Structure formats: structure tokens, C-alpha cells
């Protein structure tokens, strides 16, 4: 069995539910949003598609401003009420993309991230959990959810690790741009 690897031409980014009224309840919310923003910029630099979900916008509000301005219409946005982000429009987009690796970031680890990841695995995708860009309202929920997802077959990574794996070589055309992003990764 081949070892899963991140490559820009076979990877896309899924940003799950980083919304205005939810983020005040999330521990380390600023770091999660910051790192998700770096992933959005990375996707732009490497020409990777971005999908963004929003859970019950009427109640939780839209995606937080720092991400909205970075996306500027470059992502597919899907409103949902299901906890899983693998709703029909997202699944159709993933299928059309032909990409099997899905970088997953957002909230909450033990609810929408967990259910999205399990559904991605069930549909034959390879979810990569960007752990320093995943949050929850209760810190103790995060490691339990991550262990469950990894046991099911998801792969844990970090923003910086994913960035350098996607580049693969310091001679990559996007290395300088990514180096500037890497310098912004928080080490909290």
C-alpha cells in the first residue's frame, strides 16, 4: 500500500465552520483562525481549490472576517445544517476536482470536524487533519477526537509540515512565498 503524501495537484483545502458567533466559544480561536488563513493563502499560492462550509448561518453568523477577506470569492462556500461538511455540494465539488487528499481545518474537533472526517474516509478520500488549525469549545475534546479520527485512518499534520510537504523541494517556484507564510506560523 502506498504511503499517502501531500501534492499540490492532488490536494484541496476544506475549511469547516469558522464563524463569527462560534469563535468566541473556541479555545485558542485566534490561532485557529490565523492558521486557517495561512492555509487559505497557501492554497492560493499553490493553485489548490478551497471549499468552505458554514453551519446554520442564521444562528452562527458568516465566516469570520479575517478569512472572508482572504478568500475574496476564491472558494466554494456551502451553508449546511448537517454536522458533517461532506454535504452534497461539497461532495460533488470534491468528485469534480479529482483530488483525493483533503486538508481539513476548522471547528469543532469533536463535532463537525469529526463527522466530516469520518464521512471523507467513508467516501474514499484521505483527510489530513491540520491539528494546529482545528479548534473546539473544550480543549479536552480535541485530543480524543483526533485520536478517533487517526484510528479511523485520517492523517494528522500541522500547518508548517503540510506546507513543506506540498512544496517538496526548496527549488519549488512557490518556495519564497511559502517561506513568508511559514514565518507567520504561531508556535503557541
Q: Which of 105, 107, 112, 178 is catalytic?
A: 112
Half-sphere exposure of 161 (CA within 13 A, CB side): 13
Query: Would you call 112 a catalytic residue per the annotation?
Result: yes
Query: Would you call 58 a catalytic residue per the annotation?
Result: no
The beta-strand segments (E) located in 4-125 are 11-16, 50-55, 76-80, 101-107
Q: What's the CA gap between 165 and 173, in Å, rounded?
A: 14
Closest CA to 83 of 22, 154, 152: 22
Query: Would you call 17 a catalytic residue per the annotation?
Result: yes
* Helix/strand number for the chain, H first, E second: 8, 6
Q: Are the C-beta atoms of 122 and 84 separated by less than 8 Å? A: no
Q: What's the CA gap between 66 and 102, in Å, rounded?
A: 22
Q: Which of 80, 105, 132, 178 is catalytic?
A: 80
Active site residues: 17, 80, 112
Amino acid at each position: 500500500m502506498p504511503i499517502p503524501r501531500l501534492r499540490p495537484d492532488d490536494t484541496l483545502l476544506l475549511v469547516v465552520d469558522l464563524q463569527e458567533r462560534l469563535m468566541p466559544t473556541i479555545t485558542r480561536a485566534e490561532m485557529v483562525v490565523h492558521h486557517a488563513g495561512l492555509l487559505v493563502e497557501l492554497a492560493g499560492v499553490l493553485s489548490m481549490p478551497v471549499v468552505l462550509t458554514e453551519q446554520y448561518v442564521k444562528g452562527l453568523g458568516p465566516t469570520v472576517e479575517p478569512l472572508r477577506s482572504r478568500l475574496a470569492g476564491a472558494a466554494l462556500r456551502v451553508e449546511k445544517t448537517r454536522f458533517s461538511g461532506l454535504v452534497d455540494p461539497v461532495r460533488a465539488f470534491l468528485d469534480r476536482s479529482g483530488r483525493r487528499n483533503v486538508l481539513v481545518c476548522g471547528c469543532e474537533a469533536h463535532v463537525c470536524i469529526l463527522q466530516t472526517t469520518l464521512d471523507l474516509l467513508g467516501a474514499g478520500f484521505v483527510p489530513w487533519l491540520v491539528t494546529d488549525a482545528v479548534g473546539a469549545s473544550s480543549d479536552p475534546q480535541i485530543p480524543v477526537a483526533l485520536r478517533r479520527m487517526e484510528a479511523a485512518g485520517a492523517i494528522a499534520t500541522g500547518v508548517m509540515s503540510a506546507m513543506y510537504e506540498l512544496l517538496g523541494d526548496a527549488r519549488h517556484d512557490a518556495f519564497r512565498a511559502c517561506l513568508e507564510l511559514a514565518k507567520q506560523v504561531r508556535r503557541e
